[in-house]
Amino acid sequence: MSTEIQNELEKMRVKIIANLDEQKAHDFRIAFLDLHVYEQAQIFADLNVAQRARVYRYLTPDEVGEIFNVSEEEPALLAGYFEEMTPRYAAQVINSMYTDNAVDILAFAKKKNLAKYLKLIPSEDASEIREMLHYEDKTAGAIMSTEYVDIVGNQTVRSAMHIIKSEALEAETIYYIYVIDDEEKLVGVLTLRDLLTNDDDIMISDIMNTPVMSVQVTEDQEEVAQTIKDYNFLALPVTDYDDKLIGIINVDDIIDVIDEESTEDFSGLAGVDTEQGTDNPFMNAWTRFRSSALPLFLGFITILLVEHYENLINKATILAVFISMITGAAGNAGTQSLAVAVKRIANNDDQETSWFSTILNETLTGVIVGFCSGLIIWGIVGVWKANFVLGFVIGVAMLCAITFANLVGCVIPMLMDKVNLNPSIASGPFISTLSDVTSLLIYFSFASMFLKFFIGQ
């Protein structure tokens, strides 16, 4: 966004905080409510307890609800803010929010507070919230919104437009209108564009689109994201087990899902949660240490392994020289095939290609990369050390190590996926340490086999 606007915002921000501290309720309302709600949320996030207390006095529950709807603060934090309000005010805020957003926050509210709020909310909305609180995390049900427009088919465009206008302020989106039958089953969908481009007297049932693409309430959010991406929908309806329409998922919720999922894959590959990054090095150190602890101890296996061959190294210390190169190459190969596998699973490409062909493909890839790398090493070491046997040993070890690493890198995440574990937690560090062990095992067993051919040269 342009810098003028940014400076503009900064000025407003300062002015607003000042108004708040000087308790100028009126000036505060004027300036604050003039901002885009996302900017309001940004300012709100920087306030202290005392300032927030004033905001609750100066703004209506609906105005605060708007802010909570778009706030990017941790849900747990926002749940804490509810406790700063009177239960009645909090209940009004909750009631004015879109159900999906409210539920995200209430999931972190203390049981007794939650009960208090729900008692103060119209029973119908309260039971809706209770219901949604039970949907499993990362399913369509957990991210869907219940503020949508549904109409019956046997009416004209004109009457439909009336309904839409009347519900326009409540609904989270009015650009898709869903048509249901008398059993609330989803039977068709219209865009607002369809309504505007058709005559007022045409029947909805004649112009609605069928069949409607929809997702089950228990569907994984990643599937939902994929469908919305593929079809360029602005929203997707959610149905329960007997095809009743119970909610919609909007594209802006899906953008968050896409972000979330890709960050998950990315973090998994590095073996560190890249979103947890704080300014507190001790916190950071702890999250990183946790994820490097397992590789560290796996590392001891490598140590025992190499120690087992200490004698061999004693005879030909030159072998030690190539340890890091072999483990390095294997580690990189492993991480690469891990990355490819994780992405393939995320994109659901594995539905098209069979398990077997994927593994075969990865193995072949490994063999080819390994062969080329091995050949280069063989040549260089052979010439450099005037010892082509040694070069051969290292080259072949390289070939096997890379091939195996490729295999591990793709098989492990696929296995995890089959048993419904998130493949992205097969972290890079884990894979590369695993490749270390195997590659060294291969390397040294080869070396000991051929020892007599190059030792002492």
Return the structure tokens found at 94: 């909750």
Q: Give the x/- contact pattern for a second copy in 355-384, rule: CB under 8 A.
A: --x---x--xx-xxx--xx--x---x----
- Any residues with CB less than 8 A from the CB of 122 and at least 6 apart, and which? 95
Task: Pick the piece of the chain touching a second copy (CB under 8 A) from 12-20, 82-90, 110-118, 248-256.
Answer: 248-256
Give whichever of 91 and 431 is closer to a second copy, judged by the CB atom.
431
Q: Which of 88, 130, 229, 418 binds a second copy (CB under 8 A)?
A: 229
Residue found under tokens 């209940």? 91
Contact status, residue 62 vs residue 53, Cβ threshold 8 Å: no
Residue 120, Cα to own-chain centre: how many angstroms? Answer: 34
**Which tokens go with 78?**
């926002």
* Window 22-61: contact mask with a second copy (x via CB under 8 A): --------------x-x-----------------------
Distance CA 319, CA 445 (A): 12
Q: Binding-site residue total for a second copy (CB under 8 A)?
A: 112
Nearer to a second copy, 20 or 228 (CB): 228
Compute the least distance from the CB of residue 400 to a second copy, in Å: 16
Distance of closest approach, residue 269 Cβ to a second copy, in angstroms: 5
- State in angstroms the smallest separation of the CB of 351 from a second copy: 10
Cβ nearer to a second copy, comparing 82 with 176: 176
Binding segment toward a second copy, per CB under 8 A, in 118-126, 140-148, 229-237, 447-455: 229-237
77/255 with CB nearer a second copy: 255
Distance CA 373, CA 379 (A): 10
Question: Residues 235-248, buried b or exposed e (16+ Cβ, 10 A)?
Answer: bbbbbeeebebbbb
Here the tokens at position 52 are: 């927030």
Residue with smaller CB distance to a second copy, 107 or 320: 320
Q: What's the min distance (Å) between Cβ of 323 and a second copy?
A: 5
277 binds a second copy (CB under 8 A): yes
Nearer to a second copy, 57 or 162 (CB): 162
Largest CA distance in the chain: 97
Q: Confirm if 160 and 195 have CB atoms less than 8 A apart.
A: yes
257 binds a second copy (CB under 8 A): no
Does residue 106 contact residue 94 with C-beta atoms inside 8 Å?
yes
- Residue 291 near a second copy by CB under 8 A: yes
388 binds a second copy (CB under 8 A): no
Q: Among residues 214, 387, 403, 438, which is the contact residue for a second copy, using CB under 8 A? A: 214
Assess 418 for contact with a second copy (CB under 8 A).
no
The answer to whether 456 contacts a second copy (rule: CB under 8 A) is no
User: Minimum distance from CB of 54 to a second copy (Å)?
Assistant: 25
Restricting to residues 175-194, name those near a second copy by CB under 8 A: 175, 192-193
Task: Verify binding: residue 263, a second copy, rule CB under 8 A.
Answer: yes
Q: Are 79 and 109 in contact (CB under 8 A)?
A: yes
Asked if 231 interacts with a second copy (CB under 8 A), we say: yes
Interface with a second copy in residues 310-349 (CB under 8 A): 310, 313-314, 317-325, 327-329, 331-333, 335-336, 338-340, 343-344, 349
* Interactions with a second copy, residue window 77-136 (CB under 8 A): none
Q: Radius of gyration over alpha carbons of the chain, in Å?
A: 30
Of 21, 22, 206, 275, the residue at the interface with a second copy (CB under 8 A) is: 275
Extract the tokens encoding 249: 């998922």
Q: Is 12 in the site for a second copy (CB under 8 A)?
A: no
> Which listed range, 78-86, 131-139, 228-236, 414-422, lies at the site for a second copy (CB under 8 A)?
228-236
